Amino acid sequence: MTDVERVGIVGCGLMGSGIAEVCARAGREVVVVETTRTAATAGLERITRSLERAAASGKLPAAERDAAVGRIAVTTDVARLADRDLVVEAVAEDERAKLEVFALLDRVVERRDAVLATNTSSIPVIRLAAAVSRPEQVVGLHFFNPVPVLPLVELVPSLLTGEETVRRAHAFASEVLGKEVVRARDRAGFVVNALLVPYLLAAVRMAEHDAASPEDIDRGMTLGCAHPLGPLALADLIGLDTVQAIARSMYAEYREPLYAPPPLLARMVDAGRLGRKTGRGFHTYGDRGSGAMREDGGVVATATGPTRPVHGRRHGEQPT
């Protein structure tokens, strides 16, 4: 059993909003903290749209949709996290930003045995635990996008995480949220991204070297290997900036070439072509920031055509 009734989340972007939704649907009271009123409003709208899609598809009764919305508060007031039993950090994949969040949580969260979790996809948990006075309470809970659809959570204890924290985090993810939990060692990339990211980077290198078009690279893996999304479409869905951040973190730890971000990836990030969330990445999307996935995990927006690989351009120059 779990004693986690009050959940806090820092960050209401794609991942934070998804985590908030599944917690609210599981009957937990949720407070989400954002940095600005504009971001808070956008985050709540994102959660509401997702719940409405679930109801419209018949996967969530209207009464449960309304109850879930009523359990969620999105605010800019970090003091609202004081009484939380569990807080999940879900800000951008930037170590400095995450360290600032954990230092803040250490001051604000009053329950001394509260679980302080990070949704990081690549940064070793021990580095974040170093920012707090209670590192035994810090653990990795890595959800996957879209959170309401994908059943997996990676549970990542650091060398200092207490066994009771691990037990409570595991019980919450599995018993309350109904997720499948895999336990991973505290190493950059954990299990899934340590396998996935080199594959995505290999696809970027193929596009960079003109081995095939982005469209044909993706078709090769969807039609030839029965993958639901091709690697470049998946990178677009994750966000090319996030893929780059994960790759950099893993390369910094392992110094293996397969983890090094290709120059093309850096150019696209510098150009603001981040994938679905900006409407353009390796493919072009008609509905910018539309959420990208149906409730059943299928693709909402389809690529309207592949973009051309970038060649012969200076670093930071806009690719076309």
Q: SS in 3 state form for 181-232?
A: EEECCCCCCCCHHHHHHHHHHHHHHHHHCCCCCHHHHHHHHHHHHCCCCCHH
Q: Which tokens go with 160?
A: 């200092």
- Clarify whether 283 is annotated catalytic: no
Kindly tell me the burial class for residue 241, based on how many C-beta atoms sit within 10 Å of its own C-beta (0-12, 13-18, 19 or more): buried
Active-site entry in 50, 119, 193, 213: 193
- The whole-angstrom separation of Cα 214 and Cα 284 is 11
Residue 1: CB atoms within 10 Å:
7
Active-site entry in 21, 93, 136, 154: 154
- Clarify whether 45 is annotated catalytic: no
Q: Are 167 and 113 in contact (CB under 8 A)?
A: no
Active-site entry in 17, 50, 119, 121: 121
Active-site entry in 50, 93, 122, 142: 142
- Clarify whether 142 is annotated catalytic: yes
Q: Are 246 and 197 in contact (CB under 8 A)?
A: yes
Query: Angle formed by the axes of helices 240-254 and 192-208, to 10°?
Result: 110
Residue 149: CB atoms within 10 Å:
18
- β 138-143/152-157 pair status: antiparallel
- Clarify whether 290 is annotated catalytic: no
- Residues noted as catalytic: 121, 142, 154, 193
